[in-house]
Structure 1
């Protein structure tokens, strides 16, 4: 998802700080009227204020109030190793320290009190059970589908979920990655807290906790790290490294950088298969282009395969050739470069039967437009050689220096690094937020399904990329349409639509089910805001942000989906009937690890399950949404 959602992290940034999705508690201290201006204010005014003081509706730039919920650690990471490194590179050390100090309240070291008071008496991690899921997509098909046996839950159980326990992350305002459940252990990326943790599924007590050199932003992948190797966990760090841990002990086994472009973040989650780790590589130029003097743009997306034993790169498929000077300068005097962009924001899928990797891409960030932007791509698992490319939208050349839509549209004016506006680009930012899903049809009639921020759901022939059918829900927006993922129950594909702040008569916010065999709409459910009672007091968003953005999850005959206003919806998958709702935002929590906890928006990789439990990431402060810091564990009411 060109997501500055995917960038996010998610996990989300000065202009794109939202992109890193990182957030933490601690407001900047109030300044008395007679005090001299904070030295960081001048830096903020010069480099940040234009985007963050009053972001227009639908902007991915975080309002300054959201930046002030982020910790000094998070802000510094975003500006030095994260998505906004190009902005940070324009600051000297004094300026960097000043702007971070201006936005975030200085804090003592994070410590381990949030872990130590909740250690398990029995710290055994039993890996003999089959994993409930192996990655963000649940399986190699990216199906987001679990059987009753995998989840330990039946459809009837999901109609009576209630909170069993919650675990709070310190200095956190957004939860981006999902965990992996193996037996009675849930492995979880507590990224903003700087750890990966192993928790007991039934109580939330800590079996092990490993501090990581850099925040682990994304969902974890689980599998053997090479032939005869240990069962491992693989995550992506904000620094751009992959990190592999021993699942039994939490010991860090290796860290490696698989990127061809050292400024690109790893936004989508990896997938482990047969000694290889398939890694999606995104890009940072889309946000860096907001700097008028930035030479836009040079980076491009890729998919890499690395050796599971040590992270050594085996092959890389590039979305395009390296950028070259275009022989022109922008209005700010910077040299223009291209082609660029087509980052891979989402998690890939792997068809083991045909030896094919499927990945989806985002928009170009500078011209010339390429055939690989806003596309689904098939490549050979063994070599990375391209098999076919399906492009859903041509000429979608856009970066955050551009308005959305026509360069004459109302809103933010054309910036210097949108020098190509009016030259044929559609300026829509309608990339693929959802990774490709391999649908296993009857009699071997498989289908590749993709969800796009345009509101489109596409069905493709897996051998050729030929379009089988298409359904569009709403008009799409840069943060709307299908944002993070789709799911299937083996008959239907489920498309959550977010459409934040889109007028009601134009919005498709809600859940849409399509029969995969025919391409016909099976059922639709429209979300509606609820700003009554405690919700008006406990949630910071409810009116314009109530759609479904997080990737949904199918368990048995039920479909689970989280909303941007913090509600978890449980539907009957066949009919769309609402079976249950749990409000994770307007709830008071007493986390088992005895630190303050609050819920918020459900976004990104919001849901996973296993061992008779459903786990929900409640809190996502990016894009002006409701921050929170609790992993909510749900079980059927007894």
Structure 2
């Protein structure tokens, strides 16, 4: 099925940092590359488009070599084969720029790495319970010192328009992935380069380290283990055999097993082509032996194997059930030996009972223990907001994914709670020991296609959860955003800080929305924004005590031209007295290609 389905993937090119529609790749006699783009593609690549297609200015920041590679050997090979070599090169050169900038030799680290302070790490997406809380000793920052943060160094990612990897800080090093598939090991204090590794596709997750290895997944569904000291590959395997599977959530590592969430974003995109046989991908969590990469178990979020259900109006076969992707890093309940995962929508009909849900699997066997669904009959794919809605399974659609797997916390007295949120703007307090029974629920945000809560919040040791609000509204850059604090035990709203008026008004892709994940240390919560700002909030009142605008040019330590943009799915990382954040998110947001490191007074 893999080869056949791969050849049927004709509609979107996912080259590093952007999507490019089929219209670029259809040969047309007597049409120049510019005319071909204008007549077949410009209708998608405009401000306010609902499919996330990047704006023309963003496309022009890509290297033409990256576009050509995608047409010749990447995901667009099937379409590229219908073009002559001259046509492929002409289209690539019309859209792209010159070759990517080389990294300066002087950016290589000249000395052996120095060990970081004991405990001053941020390993992977978050702790096992997904609290995204960094204790004072490891953070090295306080309510008093945070307002003194200044830029210490900037690192530019070559040839990309998104910097969506979240950095891991471990033993004095930064481990971070880039949209072109490069994984970097940098010095945490200076940003110099120890080693790089070229993965097959973009790496948007936060690597996790253990037993001398660094683990991560890419946007082709591959999982890797490298030697953390040298970057040498130890093993590589596929998390899922479906050709359109991707990994957007960070793996979790515990007791010699790597737990990998699997998403099918690319099939949702492929469904915009009415000739595509939609849909056959099923979300899952995969447990791998960390030493060898051998699969221990695989737990699907759609229990039934997709079957042919008929055909659409253009005669393409339809399949279902499908979808229910796991977008984010799973939550590990080490006490009960249970793994929780937030799920997305169904891509086709029939709908399932596990979409838009928190699902619980046994950590040892992968057996499904329970599922708590919040929005039923939610079927959606990108065809629902495309020009041709043939493969849209439900119109009007809902699209109330869970882009996070929940925060697990103790309430004392033997009671615990799992706090999850979704794109409808709802926040739920669940009892993990009673099959996810709802303890409380709150409608906090307006919700919508890019609304509500997307990538998850954080919780400190004071019984409070902090969540960033998206509520992105196309064409209305001042709408959306905000940070809310809720009491864990009851869901009571303690305070809300609205998003400041964006300073990027007038720039394409600007918005006040704040879909990014939250990070919290004692007394301070950190949250990025679609408008490119990274802000620090005092946790008692929500007062903004520090604000830095990343939408600017930076002199990078590796000599590359670097610029900041929107902060969307990437999270701030705090460790050893420093704050790290990547900036730049193409699509309908503001592109960028930089990793920023801040310290007190820049020292």
* Deviation sequence 1:304-330 (CA, Å, 0-9, x none): 10110121111111112111111x321
Matched, 1:322 2:292: no
Q: For residue 115 of structure 2, what is the aligned residue in structure 1?
A: 126
Q: What is the aligned residue count?
A: 579
Partner of residue 265 from structure 1, selected from 246, 271, 274: 246
2-structure distance, mates of 1:368, 1:562: 37
Q: For residue 394 of structure 2, what is the aligned residue in structure 1?
A: 421
1-structure distance, mates of 2:257, 2:549: 40
Q: CA deviation at 1:123?
A: 2.6
Q: For residue 94 of structure 1, what is the aligned residue in structure 2?
A: 83
Q: CA deviation at 1:241?
A: 1.1
Distance change (3 Å), C-alpha of 1:20 and 1:363: farther
Matched, 1:557 2:523: yes
Q: CA deviation at 1:298?
A: 1.3
Greater mean deviation of Cα atoms: 376-385 or 120-129: 120-129
In the TM superposition, 1:61-80 aligns within 5 A as 61-72=53-64, 74-75=66-67
In the TM superposition, 1:143-222 aligns within 5 A as 143-192=131-180, 194-222=181-209
Q: Indicate conservation of the 8 Å contact 2:526/2:535, yes or no.
A: yes
Q: For residue 580 of structure 1, what is the aligned residue in structure 2?
A: 546
Q: For residue 489 of structure 1, what is the aligned residue in structure 2?
A: 460
Q: Indicate conservation of the 8 Å contact 1:562/1:603, yes or no.
A: yes
* Structure 2: runs of 5+ lacking an equivalent: 1-8, 20-28
Greater mean deviation of Cα atoms: 177-186 or 68-77: 68-77
Partner of residue 370 from structure 2, selected from 385, 388, 404: 388
Q: For residue 135 of structure 1, what is the aligned residue in structure 2?
A: 124
Partner of residue 239 from structure 1, selected from 197, 215, 220: 220
* Deviation sequence 1:463-483 (CA, Å, 0-9, x none): 211111111223212212111
Q: CA deviation at 1:75?
A: 4.2
Q: CA deviation at 1:429?
A: 1.3
Distance change (3 Å), C-alpha of 1:248 and 1:449: same
Q: Indicate conservation of the 8 Å contact 2:429/2:440, yes or no.
A: yes
Partner of residue 294 from structure 1, selected from 250, 267, 276: 276
* Structure 1: runs of 5+ lacking an equivalent: 1-12, 25-34, 225-230, 404-411
Q: For residue 595 of structure 2, what is the aligned residue in structure 1?
A: 631
2-structure distance, mates of 1:246, 1:363: 36
2-structure distance, mates of 1:282, 1:129: 35
Q: Indicate conservation of the 8 Å contact 1:258/1:311, yes or no.
A: no
2-structure distance, mates of 1:350, 1:276: 12
User: What is the SS of the residue equivalent to 1:207?
Assistant: strand
User: What is the SS of the residue equivalent to 2:534?
Assistant: strand
* Deviation sequence 1:506-529 (CA, Å, 0-9, x none): 955211111111111010011132
Distance change (3 Å), C-alpha of 1:393 and 1:387: same
Distance change (3 Å), C-alpha of 1:270 and 1:560: same
Distance change (3 Å), C-alpha of 1:488 and 1:444: same
Q: CA deviation at 1:62?
A: 2.6
1-structure distance, mates of 2:505, 2:479: 22
RMSD value over aligned CA atoms?
A: 2.9
Q: For residue 24 of structure 2, what is the aligned residue in structure 1?
A: none
Q: Indicate conservation of the 8 Å contact 1:271/1:278, yes or no.
A: yes
Q: CA deviation at 1:61?
A: 2.8
Q: For residue 495 of structure 2, what is the aligned residue in structure 1?
A: 523
**How high is the TM-score relative to the length of structure 2?**
0.89
Matched, 1:501 2:486: no
**How high is the TM-score relative to the length of structure 1?**
0.84
Q: CA deviation at 1:20?
A: 7.4
Distance change (3 Å), C-alpha of 1:318 and 1:364: same
Distance change (3 Å), C-alpha of 1:348 and 1:80: farther
User: What is the SS of the residue equivalent to 1:117?
Assistant: helix
2-structure distance, mates of 1:613, 1:107: 35
Distance change (3 Å), C-alpha of 1:21 and 1:462: farther
2-structure distance, mates of 1:213, 1:364: 28
Q: Indicate conservation of the 8 Å contact 1:163/1:635, yes or no.
A: yes
